[in-house]
Homo-oligomer: A and B are copies of this chain.
Amino acid sequence: MMTVTLYDFWRSSAAYRLRVAFGLLGIDYHSVVVDLPSEQNRAPAHLARNPQGLVPAVEIDGMMMTQSLAILEYLDETRGAGFLPSDAVGRARVRTLSYAIAMEIHPVCNVSVAKFAVAHSGGGITMESWMETFVGRGLAAYEALLDHPATGRFCHGDQVTMADICLIPQVYNARRWGVDISLHRRINAIMAELEEIPAVAAAHPDRHNSKG
């Protein structure tokens, strides 16, 4: 099989999702660092990979792919990954959970968006207040969505799905910014299960910090 290349940055939540996914699938990938603090993502070489200037990008099956959830769905379809359940209703629930993080929290809390808000607020907004507001309310809603009979050991049943793959980096980010999620019983129970999985532990940003 051809080499898979992940254009990666250790702290990118979206890249972290793919490190988890590749690990779960046992896909041995080649990693190329795109350093976000020095804006390598805005350089022509990276814009040629992804006109959005975002990480991750993935070279796989002879194509350059972008958008982590589109890649997770592609891996599910082409590798039988099981990241989505086999029934349409279950798939809809896993997508709803995934989007509750990947659409409602992650983009708003993207560092470039938060930095723009901070930079133009004259001190009225800090990185911490921004994260507290949007990660806080987003994960509170996520906890409520988990109050559902289909929740199991993981977000949907007893198998790791795309919803868990979205949750892992979001909880990392909540911790990074000091957002208190201690009362979210279901999220914490699921995270404890997830952190037992070697592929999940191996994908943690601290293991991929190019400065580390």
A70–B92 touching, CB < 8 Å? yes
Majority DSSP secondary structure for residues of A touching B: helix
Contact with B along A124-141 (1 / 0, CB 8 A): 110001000110000001
- In A51-110, the 8 Å CB interface with B consists of 51-54, 61, 63, 65-67, 69-71, 73-74, 77-78, 88-89, 91-93, 95-96, 99-100, 102-104, 106-108, 110
Q: Which residues of B contact A67 (CB under 8 A)?
A: 95-96, 99-100, 103
Q: How many copies does the complex hold?
A: 2
**A185, chain B: closest CB distance, angstroms:** 15
**Contact partners of A144 in chain B: CB under 8 A:** 51-52
A190 at the interface (CB under 8 A from B): no
Interface size, chain A (Cβ < 8 Å): 47
Q: A74-B88, A103-B103 are in contact. List 7 more A-B contacts (CB 8 A).
A: A51-B147, A52-B100, A53-B141, A65-B92, A117-B117, A120-B121, A122-B124
